[in-house]
Amino acid sequence: MHHQSQTAPALPTVGLVSHKTYTVRRSTMLAGLAWLALSTACSGGAGWYILSRDDLAARLIARETSRQYAYEDRISALRADIDRYASRALLDQDGVESRVDELASRQAEIESRQSLVAALTDTLQSNGLMPAAKLPLRSQVIKPGEPIRASGVTSFAPILPGKPTPAPETPSLRGADSGWQSGETPAEPPAKRVDAALTKLDGAMARTSNAQLSTLKEMDETLAVTQKRLRSALAETGLDADRLAAPAASAGGMGGPFVPVKLDPSESPFAATLSALQPRVASVLRLRGVIEQLPLSRPMAGDHDFTSNFGYRTDPFTRGLAMHTGVDFRAETGSSVLATAPGKVVVAEYNGGYGNMVEVEHANGLSTRYAHMSAISVSTGQMVKAGTVVGRVGTTGRSTGPHLHYETRINDEPVDPTRFLRAGGKLLAKAL
């Protein structure tokens, strides 16, 4: 079918704009719509992707932040633990330091006490008042920086400088320290070893201190018995022990300024015992010195009978009553006559009825005479000791036969010699 075109009338062209008509195909329109839908979808997908990525990043950041906070909290807790352990270590160190200082102080005190006990023991032993005995052993001196040893255990306290123990090259297995795998006893921690060593050392010092106190008490008991024995012997002589002067001791060159040891009896049992012991020691030494100067020995060795006692008797020549100023010992001619105490010979010659006589002057106004001797063995002015031979038994002078006439005098007045001989026999018997 054909359409015939109609021609429109021409219009004037002046001042008019021509219009064109465009025709859009359907396919083109569908393509545009599809492109528009695709673009919108892409834009939405991109937006959703971007939004989802931001949310994931936020979650990641939040998780890392919480983890960081957890790590920081853990680090803070570990630092707090470290500070706590360090504080505990410092407290333990201070405790060990205090114990070591205390032990060092006690050690110095024990050393000082030991010197007093040793000096006192030497004095008593040198005077024959106490047999040789083993003194308490000196405890170990504690010096900072040195290992503490007690009963074979050697440990270093944390405060004491020394070589540190190296760490093991490989870590031990879990449970290896418990010893259940190998059956071996696990090693004690250093702190426990140090504490055990200090405890043992403390016990050793306590035992040493108790031994020193026990030694002083034994000395006091021994001296008390000796003091009683010496006073009993002096009582036999009839002399007043408090009025007798002991000779000055001269055991070689000694001297120096007098520095007394000050003791407070209330300070400790050791000080109280030593304070009570010192006067007893002085008293016994004085009594011992007095007795050593008294004529308590027998003038002849062995046992010899008395042929005549001290006091009134029938005179062997006149048969009348007479005063006998000594005692007579029966002995053979030539027997040794011994000095009965230390002293100085003031007479050594023939003296009338005494015959050959020796007189020895002793301390505290005492003197002894030895008469009727056949020979004189000393000279005037000679110093003699107890047991020195002064002559030989004889029958010179007014004598009826060989014997020894022995006298004891106080301030030149004759006293019964048997009082002194009995005292000497008592001392000798108790000494044996």
**Residue with tokens 């008797």, as numbered in its chain:** 313
Residue 54 has a pLDDT of: 63
Residue 271 has a pLDDT of: 84
Residue 253 has a pLDDT of: 58
**Residue with tokens 């209330």, as numbered in its chain:** 266
Q: Give the H or E element holding residue 221.
A: helix 190-237
Q: Is residue 404 a contact partner of residue 300, using CB atoms and an 8 Å limit? A: yes
**Rounded Cα gap, residues 143 and 292, in angstroms:** 48
DSSP 49-117: HHHHHHHHHHHHHHHHHHHHHHHHHHHHHHHHHHHHHHHHHHHHHHHHHHHHHHHHHHHHHHHHHHHHH
**Residue with tokens 């004037």, as numbered in its chain:** 12
Which domains, from first to last, does the chain contain? 85-159+187-242+263-293 (no CATH), 306-418 (2.70.70.10)
Residue 414 has a pLDDT of: 94
Nearest CA among 309, 326, 354 for reference residue 414: 326
Beta strands in 108-167 (DSSP E): 148-150, 153-155
**pLDDT digit of tens for each residue in the chain (432 aa)?**
444 444 445 544 444 445 555 566 777 777 877 888 888 878 777 777 766 666 666 777 777 777 777 777 777 778 777 777 666 666 666 667 777 777 788 788 888 888 888 888 888 887 777 766 544 444 444 444 444 443 333 333 333 344 444 444 444 434 444 444 445 555 566 667 777 877 888 888 888 888 888 888 888 888 898 888 888 888 888 888 778 777 665 555 555 565 566 666 777 888 888 888 888 888 888 888 888 899 999 999 888 888 888 888 888 888 888 888 999 999 999 999 999 999 999 999 999 999 999 999 999 899 999 999 999 999 999 999 999 999 999 999 999 999 999 999 999 999 999 999 988 888 876 654
pTM for this entry: 0.59
Residue 33 has a pLDDT of: 79
